Amino acid sequence: MSSPHHPRPHTRNTKKLTGNLTTLRTGLALGSWETAARYVWNDREQFGAKVGSFQGMQYQLAQAYTEIAAARALVYNAARLKEAGKDFVREAAMAKLYGSQVAGRVSGQAVEWMGGMGFVREGIAEKMFRDSKIGAIYEGTSNIQLTTIAKGLMKEYAR
């Protein structure tokens, strides 16, 4: 909703790089990952072994960490362009979109990796999973970010 004090989120936040929520999403993903990684490597056991010792779990942890690093790189690239005084709207939208997707995906996986402990209402994994959902809504939905990205691409590549 728009109001004089709160302009439409996609116009307000694409005009500036939100070092706030965009980086918070990446941090939320990393915090979820770290919480779950410590738990599966040190505490959670199945079949007499730490869950983190299973190759399938290691692959999931490695994939999620790679996605977090990629989301962080998108944020840094948008910030670099902004600091250089260059157009960064498309890159900021890409960082918002991907950061939101990664935060949702990784925080959801963290809940699953932690098993029953991931669903404990007092636990941090469950809270981070809920918090990840607001990132996809507050600064503009994923479709708004995709529209911003597509408009930037059309501007650059369409004749």
> Which CATH number goes with the domain that contains 66?
1.20.140.10
Is pLDDT at 9 greater than 90 in this prediction? no
Q: Which of these, 120, 100, 95, lies nearest to 36 by C-alpha position?
A: 120
Is pLDDT at 66 greater than 60 in this prediction? yes
Residue 43 belongs to a domain: yes
Yes or no: say if 112 and 118 are a contact pair by the CB < 8 Å rule.
Answer: yes
Please, where are the H alpha helices in 16-114? 21-42, 55-83, 89-113
Residue 107 belongs to a domain: yes
Yes or no: say if 58 and 107 are a contact pair by the CB < 8 Å rule.
Answer: no
Q: Which residues are catalytic?
A: 139
**Domain tally, the chain:** 1
Residue 63 belongs to a domain: yes
Residue 14 belongs to a domain: no
Bridge partners, residue 46, by sequence: 49
Domain extent at residue 85: 19-157
User: 100-152, pLDDT tens digit by residue?
Assistant: 999 999 999 999 999 888 777 777 888 888 888 876 677 668 889 999 999 99
What is the pTM for the complete model shown?
A: 0.83
- Cα separation, 69 vs 62, in Å, equals 11
Is pLDDT at 51 greater than 70 in this prediction? yes
